[in-house]
Amino acid sequence: MIKPSPDLVEIASALLPGVRLDKAVRATEGNIHEVLLVPGVAAVRVTKGPLTTASMPRRVEVLRHLASAGLPLQVPQPLGPVTTFGDRAAVAVSWIDGTHLPEGVGDPAQIAEVLDAVRSVPLTGSLLEVVDDRAQGPSWSAIVTEEILPRLPVGWQAEGRRRLDAVLALEPVSDALVHGDLSGSNVHWSGNGKLLGVLDWDMAMPADPAVNAAQMAWHGWENVRRAVSAETYRRARTWDALFGVGHLVATMNGRPMSSPDGFIRAIVPWLEANA
């Protein structure tokens, strides 16, 4: 955890009047938000740029829909409205107890519990409307074909095309709710291994449910293999093999590719490490 900046504390004070912030800490910085953690009380999420500022109301609406979906776990809930501070937007959301499991730790039953919980949410009606942004931009495969493959090092271009073709050759399946970042610190457990909650639904979207399974490889691929069907496991490995599913989701659901060169800088080390 990192000491928060004065402006982050000022924003949190405005959103949480009367709440003491002397023990608040800033979470490790992400790509979309700065987050101030007020243990036992709230997490304050503050956007980092105009694009994320414009999308924050939609992200908060996703949380409201999930709260009424009957999930067997907690989801952070907004404690007030989205508020703008200059070109930034911020919202305070409810605190979720528990801690995440370290990388490589977990068992098939825990993985299956998380995947079943997310899969149980009906992807219909108003929830589908609020998570489906695919019409807002090019398809993920078009982004990969036009923006990413030509920028890969020459030695990876043919292999990248082969891996893309393998994903495109997968049999179509019905869309399900995909969290988009279902790993690491976003899944909270109690000390005795009870699933308490799932955080950070900013990347939620309709997609192949095997993408969720691939992201649970945080706990080890062998645990994933034992947690899901053979077909889901095959699909998860195929999705992940392209560029690492944690990278690939950034191209999905109508999201613009704002920095293709930055994306390449992120995926080439992954490709080389997983060759």
pLDDT digits 0-9 by tens, 66-113 = 998 888 999 999 999 999 999 999 999 999 999 999 999 999 999 999
Per-residue pLDDT band for 31 (boundaries 50, 70, 90) equals low
**CA–CA separation, 215 and 255 (whole Å):** 19
Whether 60 shows a pLDDT value over 90: the answer reads yes
pLDDT for 2 equals 72
Mean predicted lDDT score pLDDT of the chain: 94
Pick the CATH number of 108-273 from 2.30.130.30, 3.90.1200.10, 1.20.1440.120, 1.10.510.10: 3.90.1200.10
pLDDT for 32 equals 78
pTM here? 0.94
Q: Which residues, at least 6 apart from 100, have a Cβ–Cβ distance to it below 8 Å? A: 184, 185, 186, 187, 188, 189
Residue ranges per structural domain of the chain: 6-94, 108-273
pLDDT for 148 equals 97
6-94: CATH architecture: 2-Layer Sandwich (3.30)
Whole-angstrom CA distances from 90 to 22, 40, 86, 181 are 20, 19, 11, 20
148-194 confidence digits (pLDDT tens): 999 999 999 999 999 999 999 999 999 999 999 998 889 999 999 99
What is the C-alpha radius of gyration for the chain, rounded to an integer number of angstroms?
Answer: 19
